[in-house]
C-alpha cells in the first residue's frame, strides 16, 4: 500500500520537485517531497505560527483545553503540499504558542463511510469523555445522494463520531454515521462541518449548508446523547450573489464551517463563504437566533475559523491562513497553509465584535525598541531593523492626517506598506494591495499591531478589524522601518520575535 501511495504521489508532483522522502513522526509515516534541511532554511516559512513539519494544512478542527494542555486538530494531507486525502493532524501546547506535533488523530477508513476524507468538525466532552464529531465523505451510491458538488468532486457527506479514552491521542469511530443524510425533503448545497454544544440536558448541532438559487444556511439539530439527532430548522439563512458558479461556496449559496457560541450577554455566529469569514451577533432564546450586527472577521487570507475556551474561560479564535501563490510553487516548497495566531474575542455594548492578539504571544517577544513622538524620532526610526522576517509592532498615530509605514530591504526593495488617508471614506487602511476598514469610529488615536512572520502578515486595527496577507518576498538583508512623514506618529514599539523551534519544523 505504501509503495502504491509513493508511486501515485510521485506522479502528482511531477519532475519539478525533489524526489520524495519518507519520514516518521512518532508512530505515523509521512511522504515528504522536500528534504528537512530545505524546509528549515526556507525564509518564507513562518517561525512562530503553528504549521505541520511539512505538507498541506487547512481548517482548524476541534481546538480544546483538556487535562492541562491545548489541543489543536487540523485538516492535513500527509501525502504532499496540496489539497486532498484529508486527515486530522494534531498538535498540543501548554500555552497556545509553543507546539508539539502528535501522531495523526484521524485517517480515512478504507471502504468506510469516510473513505475519501475526514473533513472538518469539533471536539466536545460528553460527561468527561472526549468526543469528536466530523464530516466524512464517500462516493454517492446515486447522484441524488451527493451533497458536495464543487465542479471537481461529487461526494456524499455524512456526520460521524469518534471517542478517545487516552487523552485525545487515539480515537475509536462508531460503526455507522450519526447523520447519514440531510433532512427529508431538503435539497441542499452542502452538508458538513458540525459545530456541537450542550444546551441544558440536550445537545445541539449546527451544520453548514444552503439552498441553490437562494443562499447559505445553517441547519440546527438536537440530540439527547450525541448519537440520535432530530432536525429542527435553519438557525440562520442568507442570500447568495445570484451569480452562477460550479461551487456554491463561491457565490454564497453554501455556508461552511459554522461556529456558534455565547459571548457576553449575546451569541455570535461565524460562517465561512466566498473566501471570507463573516460574523453575526444577536440574541439567542428559545432556540431562535436573531442577529442585529454583522461584519467580516478578517479582510484578507483567513478562512474556516473555529473557537475554543482557554483555561481562563476566554473565547479564543483560530483561523486557517491559506496560500496565495500558485499551486506549483507550494508543491515545490513542500509546505502549504498556516494556522493564525490566537485571538481573544469580545463584544462591545452595541454588539460589535472585537478581537485582540492573545497575550500569550508576548512570551515570544525579544529585543524591544520604543520610539515616542519628538524631534529625535526620525533619526531613531532609521536605526530600526528586523532580522529573519520575525517581528511584532505596535503603532499609534493620529486619525486626522495621512500616515505611511513601510518595511524595506537595504536595497530599498519593498516588503510591506501600510497606508492611511483620512480623506478616504470608511476609515480605510491599505496593506500592500489590499484594503480594509476600521470598525471603530471615534477620533481617538489609531492603534495598529502588525505581526510579520516569514510570508505571513497579520495586522490588527483598533482591536475591531483585521487583515491577513501573504508576502512572498525574501529580502537578503534585514528589513528597515520607513515612516516618511512622522508628524502623525505618536509612538512605535518593535519587538524582534523568537522562533518556537530551532529548525522551523518541530514544536
Element (H, E) at 3: helix 2-13
Nearest CA to 246 among 157, 156, 149? Answer: 149
Are 104 and 76 spatial neighbours (Cβ–Cβ below 8 Å)?
Answer: yes
> Which three cell numbers mark 379?
533619526
Catalytic residue positions? 59
Measured between alpha carbons, how far is residue 117 from residues 160, 178, 319, 491 in Å?
A: 12, 16, 20, 49
Element (H, E) at 160: strand 154-163
CA distance 417 to 429: 10
Measured between alpha carbons, how far is residue 38 from residues 42, 47, 58, 301 in Å?
A: 6, 14, 22, 25
SS (H, E, C) 348-399: CCCCCEEEEECHHHHHHEEEEEEEECCCCHHHHHCCCEECCCEEEEEEEECC
Burial call 376-415: b when 16+ CB within 10 Å, e when fewer:
ebeeebeebbbebbbbbbebbbbbeebbbbbbbbeeeeeb
The residue length of the chain stands at 507
**What's the distance, CA 192 to chain centroid?**
17
> Which three cell numbers mark 320?
486557517
Are 458 and 341 spatial neighbours (Cβ–Cβ below 8 Å)?
Answer: yes
- Exposed/middle/buried for residue 329 (C-beta within 10 Å: 0-12, 13-18, 19+): middle
How many CA atoms, within 13 angstroms, populate the side-chain half-sphere of residue 125? Answer: 10
> Could you say which DSSP state residue 178 is in?
S
Element (H, E) at 10: helix 2-13
CA distance 51 to 335: 9
CA distance 259 to 448: 27
Amino acid at each position: 500500500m505504501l509503495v502504491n501511495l509513493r508511486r501515485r504521489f510521485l506522479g502528482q508532483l511531477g519532475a519539478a520537485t525533489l524526489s520524495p522522502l519518507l519520514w516518521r513522526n512518532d508512530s505515523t509515516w509521512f511522504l515528504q517531497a522536500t528534504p528537512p534541511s530545505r524546509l528549515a532554511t526556507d525564509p518564507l516559512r513562518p517561525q512562530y505560527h503553528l504549521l505541520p513539519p511539512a505538507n498541506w494544512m487547512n481548517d482548524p478542527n476541534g481546538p480544546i483545553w483538556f487535562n492541562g494542555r491545548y489541543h489543536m486538530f487540523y485538516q492535513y494531507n500527509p501525502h504532499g503540499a496540496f489539497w486532498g486525502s484529508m486527515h486530522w493532524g494534531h498538535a498540543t501546547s501548554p500555552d497556545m504558542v509553543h507546539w508539539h506535533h502528535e501522531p495523526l488523530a484521524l485517517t480515512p477508513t478504507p471502504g468506510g463511510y469516510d473513505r475519501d476524507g475526514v473533513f472538518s468538525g469539533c471536539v466536545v466532552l460528553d460527561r468527561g469523555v472526549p468526543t469528536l464529531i466530523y464530516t466524512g465523505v464517500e462516493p454517492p451510491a446515486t447522484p441524488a445522494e451527493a451533497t458536495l458538488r464543487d465542479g471537481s468532486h461529487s461526494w456524499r457527506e455524512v456526520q460521524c463520531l469518534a471517542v478517545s479514552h487516552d487523552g485525545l491521542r487515539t480515537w475509536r469511530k462508531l460503526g455507522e454515521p450519526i447523520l447519514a443524510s440531510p433532512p427529508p425533503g431538503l435539497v441542499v448545497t452542502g452538508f458538513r462541518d458540525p459545530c456541537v454544544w450542550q444546551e441544558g440536558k440536550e445537545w445541539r448541532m449546527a451544520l453548514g449548508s444552503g439552498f441553490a438559487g437562494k443562499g447559505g444556511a445553517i441547519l440546527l439539530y438536537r440530540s439527547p446523547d450525541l448519537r440520535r439527532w432530530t432536525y429542527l430548522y435553519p438557525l440562520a439563512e442568507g442570500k447568495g450573489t445570484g451569480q452562477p458558479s460550479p461551487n456554491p461556496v463561491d457565490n454564497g449559496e453554501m455556508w461552511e464551517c459554522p461556529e456558534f457560541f455565547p459571548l457576553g450577554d449575546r451569541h455570535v455566529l461565524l460562517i465561512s463563504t466566498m473566501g471570507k469569514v463573516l460574523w453575526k451577533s444577536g440574541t439567542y432564546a428559545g432556540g431562535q437566533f436573531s442577529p442585529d450586527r454583522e461584519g467580516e472577521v478578517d479582510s484578507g487570507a483567513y478562512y474556516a475559523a473555529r473557537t475554543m475556551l482557554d483555561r481562563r474561560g476566554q473565547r479564543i479564535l483560530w483561523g486557517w491562513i491559506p496560500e496565495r501563490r500558485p499551486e506549483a510553487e507550494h508543491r515545490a516548497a513542500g509546505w502549504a497553509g498556516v494556522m493564525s495566531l490566537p485571538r481573544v474575542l469580545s463584544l462591545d455594548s452595541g454588539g460589535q465584535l472585537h478581537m485582540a492578539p492573545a497575550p500569550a504571544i508576548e512570551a515570544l517577544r525579544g529585543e524591544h525598541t520604543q520610539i515616542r513622538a519628538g524631534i529625535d524620532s526620525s533619526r531613531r526610526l532609521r536605526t530600526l531593523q528586523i532580522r529573519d522576517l520575525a517581528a511584532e509592532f505596535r503603532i499609534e498615530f493620529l486619525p486626522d492626517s495621512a500616515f505611511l509605514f513601510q518595511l524595506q530591504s537595504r536595497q530599498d526593495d519593498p516588503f510591506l506598506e501600510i497606508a492611511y488617508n483620512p480623506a478616504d471614506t470608511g476609515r480605510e487602511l491599505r496593506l500592500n494591495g489590499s484594503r480594509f476598514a476600521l470598525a471603530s469610529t471615534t477620533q481617538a488615536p489609531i492603534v495598529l499591531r502588525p505581526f510579520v512572520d516569514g510570508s505571513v502578515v497579520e495586522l490588527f486595527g483598533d482591536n475591531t478589524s483585521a487583515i491577513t496577507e501573504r508576502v512572498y518576498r525574501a529580502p537578503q538583508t534585514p528589513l528597515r522601518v520607513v515612516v516618511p512623514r512622522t508628524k502623525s506618529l505618536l509612538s512605535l514599539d518593535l519587538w524582534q520575535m523568537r522562533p518556537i523551534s530551532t529548525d522551523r519544523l518541530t514544536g
